[in-house]
A and B are shown apart, each in its own frame.
Chain A
């Protein structure tokens, strides 16, 4: 009897969370809410796969009867997706790794090398993370125009780098600062340079954080609209968001194709998110928001 009693207590403690009516109600609320939240996405997916006749004839959340794949090819051709997709890929593939590299290097130096103005410099970077560039579209245009870089890849990549660096430096600095001294000091005493320590020790251990930042940066670069609108005037240089905006203006009544265009614009970012998402919350937790 005495042997069993405490065990029962344990059991009841363990089972309690499952039977808790509070949690059941909570679960129902969260699921209902989630269904509402995902409804627009389902709507896009369904409509993108319906012919226009079917869009008109059926209700919004009826799954497509005959899958109209030709919405995708139609939107691809009419919306000039070949060009805009290529431009978006080129800009993102250059900007994201380069920006992470620059930020990681700077964050390492600011966190790990004693500098007279180190703290001030960090504050200077941090400041940029707080300033919305949407406020300064005109002077950015003037500057890039002054360099003769309007309608070029560098003309949009350089400002993207500039506005991506501050936040990444901030996050990575927090992470590097928390790395125990023992890890780098031995190597430094043995005569390794900071560049080596950064490359051989700090880069490998910061991979989860870098993966989280990669998602954030990929998504924001891929989706960026305002700066591209100002800096890329020639439609041969347009990125996907600009192309989508123009598509909406011209073919807004072709619902099937419009939704196919939306889906094609959004899909790569969703894919990258799904691939790297297991690093996402853990990566951000380790750097940014430690209590």
Chain B
């Protein structure tokens, strides 16, 4: 240990400690975010040394000529709304249930959390197989229950493919909300719950007036994380339908990727990315401000 002035200045030490994380984060996470904005104003195939500035041309093309973009936008919005409603609600119900003194609650928690650990691309593979119109589990089960009328081409029918995919997504992510809610429930004051019960409050009243207020912060975190992770839906779409049939399950993140990396139009791909980024920021920035204010009030 060298006791020089260098080590003693706490600013220098802070710099040493923050330096590595900051450098790698700024270079590989923040810079691409700035770069994508530049790229969206250029015409570029990804290889050519020359990048041509085209102003707003890419945005004009996407918004007026690219029918797939609008499908992708609509699907992304639908997906996000579903993802904010269903997995968190089911996760909350499971957490409330599994927070009771029940036989086997630990293995049950593990079962509900298990899909979260499975690679999304593996989830896509599994569900794609279960949805197979001929050999898939779903149609087999429906046949054996004599419900042939319900048999569908789950991923091949443009009307239902998006929702079939969403079921797989829900299966995977319910455990994630559940764990966050379980963690949040540990902060609920037990004596308050017991006092309310003894005073004759119903279960619903206890939930409404004691548990729910205590879960306020957790609820905000879960909702924001659910929104963000729904915008990330990439692996599962890529693996299950690749955006098909006929682009009917296309999403913004995947469409941006395909434009850039498969059609080699980095400009248009980046313009889509920027639009998705703006959507994300309109959700994230208010949340960050809210959470900072909340922390300030807590101190």
Give A residues with C-beta under 8 Å from B: 17, 22-23, 26-27, 29-31, 33-34, 37-38, 40-41, 43-44, 59-60, 102-103, 105-106, 108-110, 113-115, 121, 123, 125-128, 130-143, 158-159, 161-163, 165-166, 169, 191, 193-196, 198, 219, 222-223, 225-226, 229-230, 240-241, 244-245, 248, 252, 255, 258, 262, 265-266, 269-270, 273, 277, 280-281, 284-285, 288-291
Whether B224 lies near A130 (C-beta < 8 A) is yes
Give B residues with C-beta under 8 Å from A: 1, 3, 7-8, 10-11, 13-14, 16-18, 20-22, 24-25, 27-33, 35-36, 39, 46, 94, 97-98, 100-104, 108, 110-112, 114-122, 125-130, 135, 137, 140-141, 144, 171, 174, 179-180, 182-184, 186-188, 203, 214-215, 217-218, 221, 224, 228-229, 231-232, 234-235, 238-239, 252-253, 256-257, 260-261, 266, 269-270, 273, 276-277, 280, 284, 287-288, 292
Residue among B100, B119, B130, B256 with the highest chain A CB neighbour number at 10 A: B119
B239 nearest CB neighbor, chain A only: A245
What are the residues of chain B within 8 A of A191 when measuring CB–CB?
Answer: 3
What are the residues of chain A within 8 A of B269 when measuring CB–CB?
Answer: 138
| Smallest beta-carbon distance A121→chain B, Å | 7
Whether A289 lies near B35 (C-beta < 8 A) is no
Whether B36 lies near A115 (C-beta < 8 A) is no
Whether B102 lies near A26 (C-beta < 8 A) is yes
Q: With contacts A130-B288, A219-B117, A289-B221 known, is A198 near B17, CB below 8 A?
A: yes
Whether A291 lies near B228 (C-beta < 8 A) is no
What are the residues of chain B within 8 A of A165 when measuring CB–CB?
Answer: 21, 24-25, 29
A218 nearest CB neighbor, chain B only: B117
B179 nearest CB neighbor, chain A only: A281
Whether A128 lies near B217 (C-beta < 8 A) is no
Q: Which of A22, A161, A241 contacts B122 (CB 8 A)?
A: A241
What are the residues of chain A within 8 A of B101 when measuring CB–CB?
Answer: 17
20 A-B residue pairs with Cβ-Cβ distance under 8 Å, sorted by A, are: A23-B102, A30-B102, A34-B111, A37-B115, A37-B171, A60-B137, A106-B20, A106-B21, A109-B18, A123-B288, A128-B25, A132-B253, A135-B232, A138-B260, A139-B33, A142-B46, A193-B13, A219-B117, A255-B135, A291-B188
What are the residues of chain B within 8 A of A38 when measuring CB–CB?
Answer: 111, 114
What are the residues of chain A within 8 A of B215 when measuring CB–CB?
Answer: 291
